Chain A
Amino acid sequence: MPTTATFRIWRGNAQGGKFEDYATPVSEGMVVLDAVHQIQADQANDLAVRWNCKAGKCGSCSAEVNGQPRLMCMTRLNQLNLDEPVTVEPMRAFPSIKDLVTDVSWNFRVKKGIRPFKPRPPDAPDGTWRMQQADVERVQEFRKCIECFLCQDVCHVLRDHKQFDGFVGPRFLTYAAALEMHPLDEERRARELKTTHGIGYCNITKCCTKVCPESITITDNAIIPLKERVVDELYDPTVKLLRFFRRK
């Protein structure tokens, strides 16, 4: 490993900006976020960056490193070519606030629009429920989500086609799947999934799954079963009948 490396960091705000090069000492074990912090402490006090846990658990430090959507705190420098400048830029699907910080507030609004958890009545007189480990595990996969929004960043429906009004994005399809497949949940979300949540926009490119730092199989385990559910619940009775016979 070289002793210094150059980081080409995007500096700017909603009005615009440009890349600036910073050379900083590097050592074994460092991650991109360390380098950014070092630059912030020594050369650019006002460099804006989000982070909290430094352990890939809070989903704050999302950015694009050499063009790849990554958590900066989990991107080791030894995975990068340090002979060239390492580019670090904000998630491009969201509006810029400053430097590496983007306006992700849309995600929080979207979540509020999804019908919340509604459990069936308790199973036991003491007000508790019984669930099998195997049944909760399926949903636990989705609940690992750290809301880094990297999947939203990479999804072409949002990134390229800007369907922010008609599509909730892979993160919130996963969220809806977690609710729909929750062993206790009784709410019905199929109609909204089809209409306001825009599940039909997803054409299963699987880009979201590829970038998920929590290795959630977003498309295969969440979106596809959810699409099937929407079809099952919403399509007209003849289709339902057909399916019924086909299954026989």
Chain B
Amino acid sequence: MAEYETHEYEVLVIGAGGAGLRAAIEAAAAGVSVGLICKSLLGKAHTVMAEGGIAAALSNVDDRDNWKVHFTDTMRGGQYVNNWRMAELHAKEAPDRVRELEAWGALFDRTDDGRILQRNFGGHRYPRLAHVGDRTGLEMIRTLQDHGIHKGMAVHMECTVVTLLKDGPRVAGAFAYERERGRFKVFRAKAVILATGGVGRAFKITSNSWEGTGDGHSLAYHAGAELMDMEFVQFHPTGMVWPPSVRGLLVTEAVRGEGGVLKNSTGRRFMFDDIPDLYRAQTADNEDEGFRYTQGDTNARRPPELLTRDHVARCIMREVKAGRGSPHGGVFLDISWIKARLPNAEEHIRKKLPSMYHQFKQLADIDITKEPMEIGPTTHYIMGGVRVDGESQMSTVPGLFAAGECAAGINGANRLGGNSLSDLLVFGKRAGEYSAKFAREQKPPAIDARQVDDAAKRAVEPFERSAGNEGPFQVQFALQELMQDLVGIVRSEAEMRRALAGLEALKQRADRAGVAGHREFNTGWHAALDLRHLLTVSEAITRSALERKESRGGHFREDYPDKDPAAGTFNIVVRKNRDGGMDVVRTPIPPMPAALKAIIDEYK
């Protein structure tokens, strides 16, 4: 019999970034008991890294904006394979969610008449992002955290869920360990919300922290839920490339929003060279117009640097491959050039982009007010995730909900910058609300002691293997290398077949990886347990990407470089079959109601 302590809640939230916190606040407000599990300390989640802002059609800066335009922008950005109902709800509800943050103490930058200021961002037609300099994510998570701790939720910090528990078809809770002592915890809950964020750690170059190992994706999958759109991974065009230790670290899109331009080694602004037809009408065709747009001229069209992330990332790759890259394998991003146009440009840059200034100065000895940055694409975000009902965020497993990055639907094939923070708020709230409703209607589930024993036994296995074996970090590095090389920005059938074979071999290496020491705060052990999640999501990404024989959004295949209209009618779904293998199925996208279609026709 395994030893563990038991906790009981009506709603259990796994993950305490923006989505998890917002969900927990909502569920607590609905009057049910709430447990909140965070993998790190409270307030350290990856949401703090979000820089640009929260997209919401408040129309404080440009009164032509409204939810319909935001909806249309989101669908266009997602290349029309989004869950249109989620895109609609998101666009409609985001403004209220932002105003609510202000009521809870968030302090956004202001317009001259004292309202919330909004800035331009890639793929958004009008200035739409509520922001605080370039540390909006910190403001958001701190606001939610400081509000949430007074709402009666029980917080379990530095606690990692290893597996979900089930009672027949429904979810019954979770089996976890706490990092400090390595002790096991069993959570019994009527409803469970996954809000675990992304999978960036499956790739070598990533902006994600150690936490981004696809836990929620994998927990849901192994509990019988479906994952959707896993082929759509977002490679953010601007990550740091030097020094090596910070390779992948995000450079906010706001740099381009404030007038930053991309140049190759010949000094050419190469983004003007390839503007997709879908965006031609809205994109500036000369440098002057582009600059005016970034300075708030509502009659100007946006510069090509602000095209969607997938496109900009591929243009950068093209320049690098053609030998026109920067010394460390990226291209140049220059904001200092605005000196030529603005008085006080240096101060303006420091004020608008304080943490970028700080980051480059401290980590790369670069003063961005004086010289260009070197940047290149970095794995940033996964559009795919747990397949959920658009209204309630419930997965195909009764009682199991998902919100934020680990849920699929809102973003389709590509996410617009700024839509992530608003997604966390809108669907975090919905998941909290509907999970509380679900929980109130249910009897407590039963915990199956056998499932718990199995989970406990599996969890300590790495200690029973010889510590002389290969360590878990080496397996993790090999996996990251493999995914980066074979399932990265540019994909092909042959490479992905090799990736599948490689993943099979890595599974066996993971099963042999041993760790030394004790269970107290043992990072090697934690890494060993995360491997299962990383392997699961890597396989899901690869199999889904093989199945999508076209290029769309974040998914680019050199053997199928064009978009195939026929492939725009389905999403790819993976689920676990009876034998433990992974099934891949094409699932038709339900037809869009005429009213939404009309909106897209009007605003596209």
A residues neighboring B (CB under 8 Å):
13, 27-31, 34, 40-41, 45-60, 74, 76, 97-99, 101, 103-105, 108, 111-112, 116-117, 119, 122, 127-133, 136, 139-140, 143-147, 179, 182, 184-185
User: In the assembled complex, how far is the CB of residue B468 from the closest CB belonging to chain A, in whole angstroms?
Assistant: 12
Contact A46 B522 (CB under 8 A): yes
B517 interfacial contact with A, CB 8 Å: yes
Interchain CA distance A39-B515 in the complex, whole Å: 15
Identity of the chain B residue whose Cβ is nearest the Cβ of A109 in the assembled complex: B149
B279 interfacial contact with A, CB 8 Å: no
Count of A-B contacts with CB under 8 A?
168
Contact A119 B103 (CB under 8 A): yes
Q: Which 5 A-B pairs have the closest CB atoms?
A: A29-B243, A45-B524, A130-B114, A46-B517, A117-B105
Contacts of A51 on B, CB cut-off 8 Å? 209-210
Contact B211 A52 (CB under 8 A): yes
Interchain CA distance A147-B524 in the complex, whole Å: 26
Interchain CA distance A51-B472 in the complex, whole Å: 18
B44 interfacial contact with A, CB 8 Å: yes
Contact B244 A57 (CB under 8 A): no
Contact B114 A132 (CB under 8 A): yes
Contact A57 B48 (CB under 8 A): yes
Contacts of A179 on B, CB cut-off 8 Å? 105
Contact B244 A29 (CB under 8 A): yes
Contact A108 B48 (CB under 8 A): no
Identity of the chain A residue whose Cβ is nearest the Cβ of B519 in the assembled complex: A46
Across the interface, B359 reaches (CB within 8 A) one of A29, A56, A131, A185, namely A56
Across the interface, A116 reaches (CB within 8 A) one of B49, B146, B358, namely B146
Contacts of A53 on B, CB cut-off 8 Å? 44, 46, 48-49, 209
Q: Mark B467-492, 1 if CB is under 8 A from A, else 0.
A: 00001111001000000000000000
Across the interface, B473 reaches (CB within 8 A) one of A13, A45, A105, A139, namely A45
User: In the assembled complex, how far is the CB of residue A28 from the closest CB belonging to chain B, in whole angstroms?
Assistant: 6
Interface residues of B in 86-129 (CB under 8 A from A): 99, 102-105, 107-110, 113-117
Interface pick from B135-143, B401-409, B549-557, B571-579: B135-143
Contact A130 B113 (CB under 8 A): yes
Contact B107 A140 (CB under 8 A): yes
Interface residues of B in 265-298 (CB under 8 A from A): none
B246 interfacial contact with A, CB 8 Å: yes
Identity of the chain B residue whose Cβ is nearest the Cβ of A108 in the assembled complex: B42
Contacts of B110 on A, CB cut-off 8 Å? 131-133, 136
Contact A52 B523 (CB under 8 A): no
Contact B362 A74 (CB under 8 A): yes
Contacts of A128 on B, CB cut-off 8 Å? 99, 102, 115-116
User: In the assembled complex, how far is the CB of residue A170 from the closest CB belonging to chain B, in whole angstroms?
Assistant: 17
User: In the assembled complex, how far is the CB of residue A229 from the closest CB belonging to chain B, in whole angstroms?
Assistant: 18
Contact A49 B523 (CB under 8 A): yes
Known: A49-B523, A108-B41, A143-B132; 4 extra A-B contacts, CB below 8 A, are A45-B471, A46-B516, A46-B524, A57-B138
Contact A46 B104 (CB under 8 A): no
User: In the assembled complex, how far is the CB of residue A100 from the closest CB belonging to chain B, in whole angstroms?
Assistant: 10
Contact B99 A60 (CB under 8 A): no
Interchain CA distance A31-B517 in the complex, whole Å: 26
Identity of the chain A residue whose Cβ is nearest the Cβ of B362 in the assembled complex: A74
Identity of the chain B residue whose Cβ is nearest the Cβ of A179 in the assembled complex: B105
B603 interfacial contact with A, CB 8 Å: no
Interchain CA distance A185-B104 in the complex, whole Å: 10
Contact B209 A52 (CB under 8 A): yes
Across the interface, A28 reaches (CB within 8 A) one of B41, B209, B243, namely B243
Identity of the chain B residue whose Cβ is nearest the Cβ of A99 in the assembled complex: B521
Contacts of B211 on A, CB cut-off 8 Å? 52
Q: Mark B317-345, 1 if CB is under 8 A from A, else 0.
A: 00000000000000000000000000000
User: In the assembled complex, how far is the CB of residue B153 from the closest CB belonging to chain A, in whole angstroms?
Assistant: 12
Can you name 22 A-B pairs with beta carbons within 8 Å? A29-B245, A34-B245, A40-B473, A45-B471, A45-B516, A46-B518, A46-B522, A46-B524, A48-B522, A48-B523, A55-B246, A56-B358, A57-B138, A97-B520, A99-B521, A129-B102, A133-B109, A136-B108, A143-B107, A143-B138, A143-B142, A145-B142
User: In the assembled complex, how far is the CB of residue B247 from the closest CB belonging to chain A, in whole angstroms?
Assistant: 10
User: In the assembled complex, how far is the CB of residue B371 from the closest CB belonging to chain A, in whole angstroms?
Assistant: 16
Interchain CA distance A172-B216 in the complex, whole Å: 33
Identity of the chain B residue whose Cβ is nearest the Cβ of A114 in the assembled complex: B146
Interchain CA distance A48-B243 in the complex, whole Å: 25
Given A128-B102, A133-B109, A136-B109, A97:B521 Cβ within 8 A:
yes
- Tell me which of A27, A51, A56, A98 has the highest count of chain B C-beta atoms within 10 A of its own C-beta: A98
Contact B363 A31 (CB under 8 A): yes
Contact A57 B109 (CB under 8 A): no
How many residues of chain B get a CB closer than 8 Å to chain A's CBs?
A: 68
Contacts of B132 on A, CB cut-off 8 Å? 140, 143
User: In the assembled complex, how far is the CB of residue A71 from the closest CB belonging to chain B, in whole angstroms?
Assistant: 10
Given A51-B210, A104-B41, A128-B99, A45:B523 Cβ within 8 A:
yes
User: In the assembled complex, how far is the CB of residue B199 from the closest CB belonging to chain A, in whole angstroms?
Assistant: 16
Contacts of B376 on A, CB cut-off 8 Å? none
Interchain CA distance A140-B521 in the complex, whole Å: 35
B147 interfacial contact with A, CB 8 Å: yes
B43 interfacial contact with A, CB 8 Å: yes
Given A57-B135, A130-B113, A143-B139, A111:B48 Cβ within 8 A:
no
Given A29-B364, A132-B110, A182-B107, A46:B210 Cβ within 8 A:
no
Contact B139 A57 (CB under 8 A): no
Contact A130 B209 (CB under 8 A): no
Identity of the chain B residue whose Cβ is nearest the Cβ of A214 in the assembled complex: B358
Identity of the chain B residue whose Cβ is nearest the Cβ of A118 in the assembled complex: B105
Contacts of B525 on A, CB cut-off 8 Å? 46
Contact A55 B49 (CB under 8 A): yes
Interchain CA distance A55-B155 in the complex, whole Å: 26
Contact B520 A52 (CB under 8 A): no
Contacts of B102 on A, CB cut-off 8 Å? 128-129
Interchain CA distance A29-B247 in the complex, whole Å: 11
Contacts of A60 on B, CB cut-off 8 Å? 40-41, 44
Q: Mark B406-443, 1 if CB is under 8 A from A, else 0.
A: 00000000000000000000000000000000000000
Interchain CA distance A90-B180 in the complex, whole Å: 15
Contacts of B80 on A, CB cut-off 8 Å? none
Across the interface, B146 reaches (CB within 8 A) one of A49, A55, A117, namely A117
- Tell me which of A55, A116, A117 has the highest count of chain B C-beta atoms within 10 A of its own C-beta: A55
Contact A46 B362 (CB under 8 A): no
Interface residues of B in 26-65 (CB under 8 A from A): 40-46, 48-49
Contact A55 B249 (CB under 8 A): yes
Identity of the chain A residue whose Cβ is nearest the Cβ of B51 in the assembled complex: A57
User: In the assembled complex, how far is the CB of residue A186 from the closest CB belonging to chain B, in whole angstroms?
Assistant: 12
Interchain CA distance A179-B295 in the complex, whole Å: 33
Contact A111 B149 (CB under 8 A): yes
User: In the assembled complex, how far is the CB of residue A77 from the closest CB belonging to chain B, in whole angstroms?
Assistant: 10
Contact A54 B244 (CB under 8 A): no
Across the interface, A40 reaches (CB within 8 A) one of B40, B149, B523, namely B523
B67 interfacial contact with A, CB 8 Å: no
User: In the assembled complex, how far is the CB of residue B367 from the closest CB belonging to chain A, in whole angstroms?
Assistant: 15
Contact A98 B142 (CB under 8 A): no
Contact B107 A29 (CB under 8 A): no
B150 interfacial contact with A, CB 8 Å: yes
Contacts of A28 on B, CB cut-off 8 Å? 243
Across the interface, B523 reaches (CB within 8 A) one of A46, A55, A104, namely A46
B355 interfacial contact with A, CB 8 Å: yes
Contacts of A185 on B, CB cut-off 8 Å? 105
- Tell me which of B43, B103, B474, B523 has the highest count of chain A C-beta atoms within 10 A of its own C-beta: B523
Interchain CA distance A103-B178 in the complex, whole Å: 13
Identity of the chain A residue whose Cβ is nearest the Cβ of B472 in the assembled complex: A45
Contact B114 A98 (CB under 8 A): no
Contact A59 B472 (CB under 8 A): no
